Amino acid sequence: DAGVIQSPRHEVTEMGQEVTLRCKPISGHNSLFWYRQTMMRGLELLIYFNNNVPIDDSGMPEDRFSAKMPNASFSTLKIQPSEPRDSAVYFCASRRPQGYGYTFGSGTRLTVV
């Protein structure tokens, strides 16, 4: 089991550019979550999917953020246009049903300059 795989590990981009973060959940996990971590706000849930369907996107900060899960093995989080305040570590996590815990990826450290 390779765990939850996120790419890229680091991303530096200029303000106004489009950024796409990618996540591959663990096979057999049917829930997928995107979190953002900053010093000021800690870990915040942005959006989560059950069986590829978005369930709660109330944490998505603005219309500049969008997330998709086209199939059970892949999800993207896109920021367009990016702003310096989007700089953070973005984590993806997945989970099996029936009361199991969450497994997190290693995160993508995003820096917008």
Q: Parallel, antiparallel, or unpaired for β 74-79 and 65-71? A: antiparallel
Binding span for other proteins by CB under 8 A among 15-23, 25-33, 66-74, 79-87: 25-33
Q: Write down the residue that tokens 């953070």 correspond to.
A: 88
Residue 75 interacts with other proteins (CB under 8 A)? no
Q: Cβ closer to other proteins: 67 or 105?
A: 105
Number of residues that bind other proteins (CB under 8 A): 24
Q: Cβ closer to other proteins: 60 or 93?
A: 93
Residue 100 interacts with other proteins (CB under 8 A)? yes
Residues 44 to 63: which contact other proteins by CB under 8 A? Answer: 45, 48, 50, 55-56
Reading the block at residue 18, the tokens are: 């489009």
Residue 103 interacts with other proteins (CB under 8 A)? yes
